[in-house]
Amino acid sequence: MWSRDQSFYFFLSIFLFFIFLLKCWITLRNPRKNLPPSPSKLPIIGNLHQLGIVPHRSLRSLAQKHGPLMLLHFGSNPVLVVSSGDAAREIMKTNDLAFSNRPKSTVTSKLVYDCKDVVFSPYGEYWRQIRCICMLELLCSKRVQSFRAVREEETALLIEKIMGSFCSASPSVVVINLSEMLAEHISNVVCRAVLGRKYDGGGGAGGQRKFKKILMEFMELLGDFNVGDYVPWMRWLGHLNGLYGRVDKVTEEIDTFLELVIQEHVEERERNGGSKVTGESRRDFVDILLQIQRDDVAGFPLHKDTVKAIILDMFIGGVETTYATLEWTMAELLKDPKSMKRLLNEVREIGRGKQAIIEDDLKKMPYLQAIIKEIMRLHPSGSLIPRESTQNVKVMGYDITANTQVLINTWAIGRDPLVWDEPEEFKPERFLHSSIELRGHHFELIPFGAGRRSCPGAQFSLAVLQLALANLMLIFDFALPARERAEELDMSEIAGSVIHKKLPLLVTVTMCSC
C-alpha cells in the first residue's frame, strides 16, 4: 500500500504530465510566431502615446531603432509600420492581394457614405466595380485629355489674377499670399472637371467660400485620430471632445451640397431634352456617373450615395493632394535659388516667344519633371497609406496575422539613407538620369501608392500640377519678402490625411523682364 504522500506525488506527476502533453499539443497546433520587432508598449493604449503630433516623423524615428518592418499596437490592435522600399514591395506587390483591404474607421464611414467610395471601400466585388468605373470612365487617358482646355483656361486665369495684384503705386513688385491663390486655382480646376463649373451652390461668391470651408473641415476630420477606433470603451471621448458632433454637421452640409449638385445636373439635362451636352468630351464627372446610373450599364445598381461618395473621392484626391504638392514645390524652389534659376531657364527657353506654356510643351522639360519627382520624394501628400491584412501571411520572414492594420510610411521611404544620397536635401538633379517614375513600379518612390490600391487620379493630378508650375515660371520671378532669408523659410508641417505646409507662403512677385 502506498502512503498518503506517495499517492499525492503520483497523482501530481500524472497531472503535470498531462499539462505537458496539453502544452505540446497547443504548441504544435499554434507554433510560436516570428513577429516583427516592437517597441515596448503601455497597458490598454499600447503604443498610441508614441504617435506624436506629426506621426510620419515619430514613426520614422521608431523605425530607425526597430527596423523597416515594425509591429506596434494601437490599443489591442496590431499595426505593422512599413518604412523601406523593400518592405513596401512585399506588401504592395508580393502580397498585394492579402493587404488590399482598408481598416475600418468610425469617422471615415460617416463622412464617406459608409465607405461606398473607391478610396476607403473594403476590398471585394463592390470595390472592383466602382474602381473600374473610375479607371475606365472618369480618369482614363482620354477623359483626362478632354479636360485639357479647362486646365489651360484656369491656369491663364491664375496668371491673370496674379497680374491683377500689381498696383499703380508699385507697378513692378507685389507681395501675395501664394498659398491662397494656388489653393483656389486647384479647386477651380477640379470643380469644373467634376461638377461642370466653379460651383457656388446658388449662393454667389459667398456660396463658393462656404463650400471650400466645408471641404477644408471635411479633410481635417478625415485626418483626425479617433482613439475609440482602437480602444472601444473610450468611444465616449468622441462625444466629449465634439468630434462626432463635428462629423455629423459636416456630413449633413456635404450631403446637402451634393444633393443640390445632382439635382441641378438632372434639371439641366431635362431642360435640354434629355441631353445636357452635345459633345462627349464636354461631360463632367457628375454627368458621366448619372448617365451610368440611368443606363444601368455598371453591372450593379449605382445608388445615389455611391455617386456622391465617388464625387467626394475626386475632391479628396484632386484638390488637397495637388495643392499641397504645388505649395511645397514653390517653397523648396524659394529655398534653393540655384534650382529655381535652372527651372526658369528651361521653361523660358521652351516658352520663348509664347504667351503661355501648353501641355505639349511639358514633355520637353526634363528638369521640371525631375523637380516634381523630388518634391514627391520629400513631401508625399499622403505620408501614411493605410491597408489591412485579410489573411495570415509571411512578410520578409515575419508572421503577420489577419486583421493587422498596415501603415506604409511613404515619407520615411522617400528619405531612406540606404537608398537616397543626402536624403534630406532638395536635389532634383538626382532624377535627371534616373529611370525611377511615379506610377508605383519603383517602391522607393510611391507618392500615389502601388498595386491594387494605387491612386487612379495620378495622371490628372500631374497634368494640373505641371502646367501651373511651368506657367508661373514663364511669366513671373518669385522671391521671399524683404529681410526673409531662404534658409529661414518655415517648412513646418500640419499632419492629417494630407500633409500641408503649416504657414502660408508669402512671396514677392515681379514680372519676367525677358
pLDDT in tens, 295-315: 877 677 889 999 999 999 988
Residue with more model confidence, 334 or 440: 334
- Which DSSP symbol is given to 167? B
Amino acid sitting at position 274:
G
pLDDT band at 173 (very low <50, low <70, confident <90, very high): confident
pLDDT band at 7 (very low <50, low <70, confident <90, very high): low
pLDDT at 488 over 60: yes
β-pairing, 493-494 with 476-479?
unpaired
How is 112-133 classified by DSSP, letter by letter? TTTT-SSSSSPSSHHHHHHHHH
Quick: pLDDT tens for 196-251.
988 654 444 444 567 778 888 888 888 888 888 998 888 888 888 899 999 999 99
Q: Give the pLDDT mean for 439-458.
A: 93
Grid cell listed for 300? 450593379
| Nearest residue to 466 via CA among 313, 320, 353, 364 | 364
Q: Is the entire prediction scored with pTM above 0.85?
A: yes
| Helices and strands in the chain, H and E counts | 19, 11
d(CA 15, CA 235): 45
| Nearest residue to 363 via CA among 474, 475, 476, 470 | 470
d(CA 437, CA 439): 6
pLDDT at 265 over 70: yes
pLDDT at 269 over 60: yes
β-pairing, 500-501 with 493-494?
antiparallel
Report phi then psi at 260, rounded to 5.
-65, -45
Quickly tell me which residue has 491683377 as its cell: 164
d(CA 376, CA 370): 10
d(CA 212, CA 215): 5
Q: Give the pLDDT mean for 335-360.
A: 96
Q: Give the pLDDT mean for 268-282.
A: 65
pLDDT at 26 over 70: no
Grouping H, G, I as helix, E, B as strand and the rest as coil, residue 427 is coil
Lowest pLDDT segment from 96-110, 169-183, 232-246: 169-183
d(CA 165, CA 44): 55
| Nearest residue to 146 via CA among 194, 187, 199 | 194
Tally Cβ neighbours within 10 Å of residue 400: 25
Grouping H, G, I as helix, E, B as strand and the rest as coil, residue 79 is strand
Give the whole-number percent of the chain exceeding pLDDT 90: 70
pLDDT at 453 over 50: yes
Instruction: Report yes or no: 376 and 325 within 8 Å, Cβ to Cβ.
Output: yes
Residue with more model confidence, 505 or 18: 505
Lowest pLDDT segment from 51-55, 106-110, 402-406, 480-484: 480-484
Lowest pLDDT segment from 14-23, 175-184, 192-201: 14-23
- What's the sign of the alpha-carbon dihedral 423, 427, 428, 431? negative
d(CA 459, CA 338): 28
What is the model's pLDDT at position 197? Answer: 86
pLDDT band at 168 (very low <50, low <70, confident <90, very high): low
Tally Cβ neighbours within 10 Å of residue 364: 13
Instruction: Report yes or no: 179 and 312 within 8 Å, Cβ to Cβ.
Output: no
Instruction: Report yes or no: 244 and 238 within 8 Å, Cβ to Cβ.
Output: yes
What is the model's pLDDT at position 497? Answer: 81
Element (H, E) at 246: helix 243-271
Mean of pLDDT over the chain: 88
Give the whole-number percent of the chain exceeding pLDDT 70: 88
CA angle 40, 221, 70 (to 5 degrees): 25
Grouping H, G, I as helix, E, B as strand and the rest as coil, residue 337 is helix
d(CA 391, CA 403): 7
pLDDT band at 483 (very low <50, low <70, confident <90, very high): confident
Tally Cβ neighbours within 10 Å of residue 69: 23
d(CA 100, CA 386): 10
What is the model's pLDDT at position 385? Answer: 82
pLDDT band at 186 (very low <50, low <70, confident <90, very high): very high
Quick: pLDDT tens for 375-419.
999 999 888 889 999 999 999 999 999 999 999 999 999 999 999
What is the model's pLDDT at position 440? Answer: 86
Grouping H, G, I as helix, E, B as strand and the rest as coil, residue 250 is helix
Secondary structure, 3-state, 463-504: HHHHHHHHHHHHHEEEECCCCCCHHHCCCCEECCCCCEECCC
pLDDT band at 31 (very low <50, low <70, confident <90, very high): low
Q: Give the pLDDT mean for 276-283.
A: 55
Runs of H (alpha helix) within 85-203: 85-89, 106-111, 125-133, 141-146, 148-163, 178-195
Q: Give the pLDDT mean for 327-333.
A: 98
pLDDT at 122 over 90: yes
For residue 129, with 0-12 CB atoms within 10 Å meaning exposed, 13-18 middle and 19 or more buried, which class applies? middle
d(CA 499, CA 412): 13
CA angle 145, 452, 302 (to 5 degrees): 70
What is the model's pLDDT at position 172? Answer: 78
Output the CATH code of domain 33-511.
1.10.630.10
Instruction: Report yes or no: 103 and 405 within 8 Å, Cβ to Cβ.
Output: yes
What is the model's pLDDT at position 318? Answer: 86
* Cα-based distances in Å from 108 to 118, 245, 302, 493: 13, 14, 21, 23
Quickly tell me which residue has 539613407 as its cell: 417
d(CA 25, CA 212): 61
